[in-house]
């Protein structure tokens, strides 16, 4: 695609780097911005830059946050701080929060154990989870990982690391098809699988 302006071309190239955005869509978005007032486009750019520069990760659960400790971890009256839902990434937190059926806290692993992709437990927020359970007297860990081999491996590994800590370990029920992605599950299915959670001993066979 030959464009009549290098500036336009550069902007299109940046948009086309985003997931799911091809060159044609990128051009459409850029031309749309070009029709807007300059202050509006400046605000658009500044919002993105500010988000990237200022966003933090909660020091306790690794969820995105505007403060060192996130709003969920800070809410000691509305959220059960002794219940930890372990998820792979921030998109899973957003999906579960959308169900409005979970009142505990989270722990974002930042990935999942996957030896084939070279991802081992040391690259994930697993040690911090074990420390958290030990120091905070957690009563329940609910695994909400994608139901696939990597998810099962990760649960098995963490469960072994937990050893004999007096803490109930559960996993979301399998309303989500095997290999299905948590974030794409509809809210009802996800809410149901949280409500019908199972003890892990019964689940890992
Ligand atoms: Zn937090």
Q: Is the pLDDT of residue 101 over 70?
A: yes
Residue 18 lies in domain: 6-54
Closest CA relative to residue 60, chosen from 46, 48, 74, 50: 74
Q: Is the pLDDT of residue 205 over 60?
A: no
| C-alpha of residue 146 to centroid of ligand 1, in Å | 21
| C-alpha of residue 199 to centroid of ligand 1, in Å | 24
Task: Verify that 99 and 172 share a domain, yes or no.
Answer: yes
What is the pLDDT at residue 178?
45
Q: Which residues, including other chains, have CB under 8 Å from residue 184's CB and lie 6 or more apart?
A: none
| C-alpha of residue 32 to centroid of ligand 1, in Å | 37
Q: Is the pLDDT of residue 203 over 60?
A: no
| C-alpha of residue 119 to centroid of ligand 1, in Å | 23
Task: Verify that 113 and 74 share a domain, yes or no.
Answer: yes
Domain of 21, CATH number, reads: 1.10.8.420
Task: Verify that 28 and 111 share a domain, yes or no.
Answer: no
What is the pLDDT at residue 184?
65
Domain count, the chain: 2
What is the pLDDT at residue 195?
77
| Cα–Cα–Cα angle for 27, 32, 37, rounded to 5 degrees | 135
Task: Verify that 44 and 73 share a domain, yes or no.
Answer: no
| C-alpha of residue 25 to centroid of ligand 1, in Å | 36
Assessment of whether the complete model's pTM goes beyond 0.85:
no
Task: Verify that 109 and 188 share a domain, yes or no.
Answer: yes
Give residue-wise pLDDT tens across range 51-87: 999 999 999 999 999 999 999 999 999 999 999 999 9
Task: Verify that 99 and 45 share a domain, yes or no.
Answer: no
| C-alpha of residue 161 to centroid of ligand 1, in Å | 22
Q: Is 123 strand, coil or helix? A: helix
* 62: in domain: no
Round to whole Å and give the CA distance between 79 and 125: 22
| C-alpha of residue 91 to centroid of ligand 1, in Å | 14
What is the pLDDT at residue 24?
95
Closest CA relative to residue 95, chosen from 187, 193, 198: 187
| C-alpha of residue 183 to centroid of ligand 1, in Å | 19
Task: Verify that 76 and 31 share a domain, yes or no.
Answer: no
What is the pLDDT at residue 192?
76
Closest CA relative to residue 48, chosen from 97, 15, 70: 15
Task: Verify that 76 and 36 share a domain, yes or no.
Answer: no
Task: Verify that 25 and 86 share a domain, yes or no.
Answer: no
Task: Verify that 93 and 17 share a domain, yes or no.
Answer: no
* 64: in domain: no
| C-alpha of residue 42 to centroid of ligand 1, in Å | 32
* 182: in domain: yes
| C-alpha of residue 107 to centroid of ligand 1, in Å | 8
| C-alpha of residue 144 to centroid of ligand 1, in Å | 16
| C-alpha of residue 30 to centroid of ligand 1, in Å | 36
Task: Verify that 14 and 77 share a domain, yes or no.
Answer: no
Q: Using pLDDT thresholds of 50, 70 and 90, give the confidence band for residue 173.
A: confident
Domain of 91, CATH number, reads: 3.40.1360.10
Task: Verify that 16 and 88 share a domain, yes or no.
Answer: no
């Amino acid at each position: 695609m030959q464009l009549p302006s290098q500036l336009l071309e550069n902007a299109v190239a940046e948009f086309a780097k985003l997931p799911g955005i091809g060159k044609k869509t990128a051009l459409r978005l850029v031309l749309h911005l070009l029709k807007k007032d300059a202050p509006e486009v400046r605000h658009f750019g500044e919002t993105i830059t500010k988000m990237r520069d200022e966003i933090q990760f909660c020091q306790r659960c690794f969820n995105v946050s505007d403060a060192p400790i996130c709003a969920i971890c800070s809410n000691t009256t509305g959220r059960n701080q002794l219940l930890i839902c372990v998820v792979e990434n921030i998109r899973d937190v957003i999906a579960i929060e959308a169900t409005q059926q979970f009142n505990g806290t989270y722990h974002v692993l930042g990935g999942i154990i996957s030896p084939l992709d070279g991802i081992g437990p040391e690259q994930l927020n697993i040690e911090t989870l074990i420390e958290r359970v030990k120091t905070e007297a957690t009563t329940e860990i609910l695994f909400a990982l994608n139901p696939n081999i990597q998810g099962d491996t990760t649960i098995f590994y963490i469960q072994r690391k937990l050893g004999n800590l007096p803490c109930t370990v559960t996993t979301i029920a399998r309303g989500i098809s095997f290999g299905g992605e948590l974030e794409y599950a509809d809210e009802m299915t996800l809410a149901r699988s949280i409500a019908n959670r199972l003890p892990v001993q019964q689940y890992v066979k």
